[in-house]
Amino acid sequence: MSSTSYGIGLAGCGTVGTGVIRALHRNGALIQQRSGSEMQLEVKRILVRDLDKSRHETVAPALLTTDWQSLVDDPEIAIVVELIGGTGLAYDIVARALTLGKPVVTGNKALLAERGTELFALSKIHNTPIHFEAAVAGGIPIIKTVQEAFIGNRIKAMCGIINGTSNYILQRMSEARLDFATALQEAQSLGYAEADPTLDVNGWDAAHKAILLATLAYGFPISPTEIHVVGIEQVKPIDIDFAKQLGYVVKLLAVIREHDDDAIELRLQPSFVSKSHILASVNGVFNAVAVNGDGVGESLFYGRGAGEDPTASAVVADLVEAARSLAHELPHRGFLPWGKQGRLLPIEETSTAYYVRFDVTDRPGVVAEIATVLAEHRIGISGTHSPVNPENPDAAFVDMVFLLHSCPFGLLQKALQKIAHLDCVNSAPVVFRIEQL
């Protein structure tokens, strides 16, 4: 059987791009054997920002270019891999490739979450697929699972830890009682957090991934402007300690859930997760997604959510799929909207129990003042606590914690807006969901 070579145009040669080149170099023969063909995947051109930058020895200098159009338009390139990130140039590269009928492989969750509607429309028009397994949870095959393995299931819920940086920071705050800033600095020193960690700690990296999962599961496009996202910046050791006392751990949790009226709940925030739940044991930079299907029941997908090798593994798997689509003229894959009338449940209508921490002036009557407002809004209180700082037992300002019964989030927001104007409250309250998974 004669071999068929598929030229690859690699846009981006950072950590993941280098990992893809190394994986193809290391396991090229194995990939051919497992794919059951003489298919060869060959990197023909690599888009970089700086031609003079030092790179891994497997990156051939002769393949480097700074001209993205010449890479995409090159007739020797059959598949385009986009790994540069962002939503500007990345969009131009992907759109041009689709217009030329060249399958695209990308790990860019922000691009797909924010501009996916446009790109998937182009994908459909030109009958050319976008493969994006690497965009969610690194080497965990969660996209393929939702698209293919669970195609016969109605997805009832998906809950997950899908940002390893935040997960590592929260673990270190728990284990070593570090404050947020110190734990973040440690994560950066170990290479687990970027120099600019904003999207990791403010929740939006995970939110983009959650949007993609919900889009695939429920069949309609979701705008980032429609979802509720809270990061971990306000988490304090006191919150983590209190969670421990109650039998919980604090996790940055993505919650995707179908309701009886076909509305979809989608939110991302720090949450109290019971120590008895399997997600509570997901530590370090690992990711996990729990999926509940009406046929398969509960399934858990666990593994490294980022890094050179796990993410490169997902990219290479998509490269093989893209080559197969060219070799066998397979029908279009990717996101094809199938939901008739999808809608998101307004965040105000979502309900859980809550942990709320107030920064208050320590004087008589504080608990009664806050409790009065909660009672006016018919929000039940299951407990209150005001831990004493042993280093300063006579402090004038203290943290006051309220545990609240389940109620709609909109009702809680109204109560907290009124409480924030009390003379005894010094700053905006910090809210954690207490999840029942």
* Residues known to be catalytic: 209
* The pairing of beta strand 264-274 with beta strand 228-229: parallel
Tell me whether strands 39-47 and 64-65 are parallel, antiparallel or unpaired: parallel
The DSSP code for 129 is -
Tokens coding 167: 């997960």
DSSP structural state of residue 332: P
- Quote the longest CA-to-CA distance of the chain: 86
Structure tokens given for 336? 């094809």
Could you tell me the sign of the dihedral formed by the alpha carbons of 294, 300, 227, 354, in that order?
positive
Nearest to 58 by CA among 72, 70, 42: 42
Alpha helices in 126-203 (DSSP H): 142-144, 164-175, 180-189, 198-201
CA angle 86, 89, 94 (to 5 degrees): 95
Rounded to whole angstroms, the Cα distance separating 11 from 349 reads 42
